[in-house]
Structure 1
Amino acid sequence: MAGIKDVAKAAGVSVATVSRVMNNRGYISKETRRKVEKAMESIDYHPNQIARALQKNQSYFIGIIVPDSNHPFFSDLIKYVEMSANERNYKLLVCNSLDDPDKEAKYISMLRQNQVDGIIMCSHTMDIESYRKVPFPIVSFDRFISSTIPCVGSDNYRGGELATEHLIGLGCKRLLHISGPLELDILSNRRRDAFVITSMKHGVAYDIIEGAHNKLTFNYFWTFIHENLTPERLQEYDGIFCSNDLVAYALYLYAQQHGIDVPSQLKIIGYDYHSFTRMLQNPKLTTIMQPSDRIGVMLTNTLIQMIENADGELINNTTVDVTLVKGDTT
């Protein structure tokens, strides 16, 4: 059976260099990495992951808990987390909480029993103290939990500001924001804060409809709009900022169904710009893009940095910039 010395000989490098490539440690040039990887392939060498894990007291597994992997944003995010983890020789376990705190708690317990090295938390249904008691590294997406748990998220306030300013700049006089649930202190609610402050700054009338639950399916949002916006009420607004793109698209279809033209009578802006949004051609949504690729990489790198530098300094929170993508709905 081929070993690490055989890889080093085939690649024409030292055993230490092969080890650094395998463990992703230290600086390795792209050319050297390619030589080592080509040598491993040519002699059919496969590292013994179990031995590595026992030697380092690591499993090289990380978990990610999301509300619903079927939602396009979280589907995209999982893809980029998995890609980034794979580059660092880690494997990913995916858990869906479906916004159930009991299920979320059971998943944390299950991941602990399977000795994962850390968790990326994208579902936040439990109280903050429950996360603080978890005995291994956690990185949070979009929620500040504690000073010892880093948070990665997009600039939600700026996103809400960009959306509201865009509608006002197009001449909208009465605005509506369809938000997510506001009972949790999550960063996405800063979109609502920016909407209110920007509307007030410009002296523009506004209303807010709060999402009853953070359900992440199109059918839920379609029903939610029917239950909370009569056609008569919808006609009171000329600009609506939605908390995500599924809401925005459901709202667009609802407006069309009732003879309200978008964008001449009603302008609509979403939030996310995920794979579903990019797929849409009629209409192309105007939306705020929070880059799931950059967020996924930052979440993964932050967690692995915590895992591999357990006694190091605390890692700072990270905010990723957002941008407005102009489409056909404004």
Structure 2
Amino acid sequence: MTSIKDVAKKAGVSVTTVSRVINNRGYIGKETRKKVETAMKNLNYQPNQIARSLQNSKTTFIGVIVPDSSHPFFSEVIKYIEINANENGFKTIICNSLDDYEKEKSYIDMLKANRIAGIIMCGQTLEVSHYESLNFPIVTFDRIISNIPYVGSDNYLGGVLATRHLIDKGCKRLLHISGPFKRDMLSNRRGSAFSITCKENDIPYKIIENKNNFFGIYKYDDLYAFIKKEVGPYINEFDGVFCSDDLLAYVLYAWATNNGVAIPDQLKIVGYDYHGFTRLLQTPKLTTISQPTDQIGHVLSSTLIDLILENEDVSTIQNKVVNVELIKGSTT
């Protein structure tokens, strides 16, 4: 039987574009629409397959569960998820898990009870078995859960770029400050890349794990206290620091400056994310690794919608990894 993917391939467009043509949602150029309609006609494709899959879902709402929507990175990702979903006729429901097991479970139960079309999981505090038992489409961000499709940035490359940059800038003793390594998160690969790159270049290094703060749950005072207690006593041992995100890098900069450590002369700092908060900062202009939030949000939304519309086995959906790049600033 001809599928929507067959139409997309023959027309030379994405599955999402074919869906827009069929459902008359979002802007589609005349030439693109004609290509899709011609492909459908040549393949004798019957679009009521999509109508049936949407009818089975009972709703065109998708859930998005994030650790904290106030975090600059997640707020941007949510924005682009919503834009793409809306263009394809879907509405989004945003849920803040705050890295709380019971809170996340209750949100999933609520969404399931309301026959949600699918969920984008960015929180992910539950055990793998819980996600595997759900009977609707799921896409995860930055976490590998069995055969559930995931989307993430190239965290390993980001770690390599950050570490190499510090070494190229003359650093001889490096520190990596990370979030907790308590789950199989793709972001953990930043730390793996850091340690491997240090070993390859005979650079002494240390990793300090912030076990109390999961990715995305941040308060300035808490981070400052963490830096003061866990990093401050060792700071003179290092001349370069790779932080797992930009907010942590900024707080480290603030603490170091307040304690007479000159940035970048005595200590060089690299962050990770390059979200809106970082782009607005003038002092300091962080050196950081850029994650493209627009691409991440778009791919998360598109991947989930493909699963919903096609109503196919998740094994046919490939995992997506978007590229990262080094953004040079004044902290190195």
Larger Rg: 1
Give the Cα–Cα distance (whole angstroms) in 1 for the partners of residues 221 and 72 of structure 2: 14
| 1:30 CA displacement | 4.7
Give the one of 320, 324, 327 matched to 2:326.
324
Cross-structure match for 1:266: 267
Give the Cα–Cα distance (whole angstroms) in 1 for the partners of residues 189 and 57 of structure 2: 40
Q: Name the SS for the 2:187 alignment partner.
A: helix
| 1:142 CA displacement | 0.3
* Per-residue Cα deviation, 1:62-115 (whole angstroms, up to 9, x for no partner): 000000001000011100101110110100000000000111000000011121
Work out whether residues 174 and 237 of structure 1, in 8 Å CA contact, stay in contact via their aligned partners in 2.
yes
1:119 aligns with 2:114: no
Segments of 5+ residues of structure 2 without an aligned counterpart are 1-18, 34-50
Cross-structure match for 1:187: 186
Distance verdict in 2 for CA 1:122–1:54, change over 3 Å = closer
1:178 aligns with 2:177: yes
Work out whether residues 53 and 60 of structure 1, in 8 Å CA contact, stay in contact via their aligned partners in 2.
no
2:122 alignment partner AA:
C
Return 214-223 or 51-60, whichever deviates more.
51-60
1:1-330 correspondence to structure 2 within 5 Å: 21=21, 23-24=23-24, 28-30=28-30, 57-147=57-147, 149-213=148-212, 214=214, 215-230=217-232, 232-311=233-312, 314-330=316-332
1:107 alignment partner AA:
Y
* Per-residue Cα deviation, 1:161-203 (whole angstroms, up to 9, x for no partner): 0000000011100000001101211000000000000000000
Segments of 5+ residues of structure 1 without an aligned counterpart are 1-18, 34-50
* Paired positions, count: 293
* Per-residue Cα deviation, 1:27-52 (whole angstroms, up to 9, x for no partner): 9525898xxxxxxxxxxxxxxxxx99
Instruction: State TM-score, norm by structure 2.
Output: 0.83
| 1:57 CA displacement | 4.7
| 1:20 CA displacement | 6.3
Q: Name the SS for the 1:93 alignment partner.
A: strand
Cross-structure match for 1:45: none
1:293 alignment partner AA:
D
Q: Name the SS for the 2:263 alignment partner.
A: coil
Distance verdict in 2 for CA 1:21–1:102, change over 3 Å = same
* Per-residue Cα deviation, 1:218-251 (whole angstroms, up to 9, x for no partner): 3322221112122x52121100000000000000
1:212 alignment partner AA:
K
Q: Name the SS for the 2:77 alignment partner.
A: helix
Work out whether residues 173 and 204 of structure 2, in 8 Å CA contact, stay in contact via their aligned partners in 1.
yes
Q: Name the SS for the 1:85 alignment partner.
A: helix
1:207 alignment partner AA:
K
Distance verdict in 2 for CA 1:128–1:53, change over 3 Å = closer
1:285 alignment partner AA:
L
* Per-residue Cα deviation, 1:233-282 (whole angstroms, up to 9, x for no partner): 21211000000000000000001001111001100000000011011001
Work out whether residues 54 and 308 of structure 2, in 8 Å CA contact, stay in contact via their aligned partners in 1.
no
- Choose between structure 1 and 2 for higher RCO, CA contacts under 8 A separated by at least 6 residues: 2
Distance verdict in 2 for CA 1:54–1:209, change over 3 Å = closer
Work out whether residues 59 and 115 of structure 2, in 8 Å CA contact, stay in contact via their aligned partners in 1.
yes
Structure 1 stretches of 4+ moved >3 Å: 19-22, 24-28, 30-33, 51-58
Give the Cα–Cα distance (whole angstroms) in 1 for the partners of residues 324 and 90 of structure 2: 28
1:177 alignment partner AA:
H
Cross-structure match for 2:14: none
Give the Cα–Cα distance (whole angstroms) in 1 for the partners of residues 108 and 279 of structure 2: 33
